[in-house]
Amino acid sequence: MAEETRILVVDDELVVIKSAERVLKSEGFQIEGALGGREAILKMEQGNYDLVFTDLKMPEVDGITLIRWIKKSRPNIGIVIITGYPSQETMKEAIELGIIDYVPKPFTPSVLLDVTKRAVQWAEGRKPAEEKGAEEFPPSMAAELDRVIREYRHRPGCLIPVLQRAQEIVGYLPPVVQKRIARGLNMPEAEVHSVVSFYSFFTMKPRGDHNVRVCLGTACYVRGIEGVLDKIKGKLKIDIGETTEDKKFSIEGVRCLGACGLAPVIMIDQETYGAMTPAKALSIISEYGGPAFSAAPSEEDIETVAKQEG
């Protein structure tokens, strides 16, 4: 899937384009760069792209102007913003315009990859065949969801509480649920989707009994969260955004768990665990049980623990 995805990275700083290129090319994505909104528009007029990653603050044609142009002229292109410290108004405007997600600058490879994978899912989800598969959820849930929509629809700021209740009812927020909510609240589907993508507590995929949230933020990255994440992925045999076959565990990558002083940090369900090491993470996860952990630790695990402790 990655090799078919064409991404245009738009930023007036070449170094940002180059870093995104380095990370995404190694995963097989096709990347091109544009040093501003004007060049990006020229490129989109001449070629096809699935996703555009754009900065907001750029001279001449800025990010918001570019997003407006894409929404009008190339509505099938998914948009992700790459930005430093956006104001609330700018983020609100970008969300209302229907961006898929955002990557905070400076970004870590893990965050960029996580957001990119979700953006690719979004692009895939727009294909009719994919949407068809996601059309089913039990009528009892649909009826309960409709009841919640009716209850909240006239309250200001009702979208987030409705999404929270919907996630409690259905367990996750697939496209079919988002569409039903958009219709019920009389708002664009893109706006609902943007909010779901923006907040890490919403999920578009079913989660396991225990949700392992791994912080991919800068503080955790510099203190070695990648080694922890690799170990968890290897042990559970799933990637970020996936659930184990026995439905016991899911892994989720998040940008910051709000505990940077304890970095690197993971969270399992509602519990936060700081100063994480690969060995500690395995040991904590094993406390949550499940068939995958009933066996004695492997030699590799023992070796990892010994290294960490020695």
By the criterion CB under 6 A, which residues form the site for ligand FES?
215, 217-220, 256-257, 259-260, 263, 265
Q: CB nearer to ligand FES: give 104 or 175.
A: 104
Q: Minimal distance in Å, beta carbon 56 to ligand FES?
A: 22
Q: CB nearer to ligand FES: give 262 or 292.
A: 262
Number of helical H runs and strand E runs in the chain: 14, 9
In contact, 119 and 27? CB cutoff 8 Å: no
Q: CB nearer to ligand FES: give 37 or 253.
A: 253
Q: Minimal distance in Å, beta carbon 307 to ligand FES?
A: 23
Q: Minimal distance in Å, beta carbon 263 to ligand FES?
A: 5
DSSP state of 85: S
Q: CB nearer to ligand FES: give 8 or 263.
A: 263
In contact, 163 and 124? CB cutoff 8 Å: no
DSSP per-residue codes, 34-61: ESSHHHHHHHHHHS--SEEEE-S--SSS
| 25-64 as b/e: b if 16+ CB within 10 A | eeeebebebbebbbbbbebbeeeebbbbbbbbebeebbbb
Q: Minimal distance in Å, beta carbon 12 to ligand FES?
A: 26
DSSP per-residue codes, 103-128: EESSPPHHHHHHHHHHHHHHHHHTSH
Q: Minimal distance in Å, beta carbon 66 to ligand FES?
A: 29
Cα 187 to its chain centre, rounded Å, is 22
Q: CB nearer to ligand FES: give 34 or 263.
A: 263
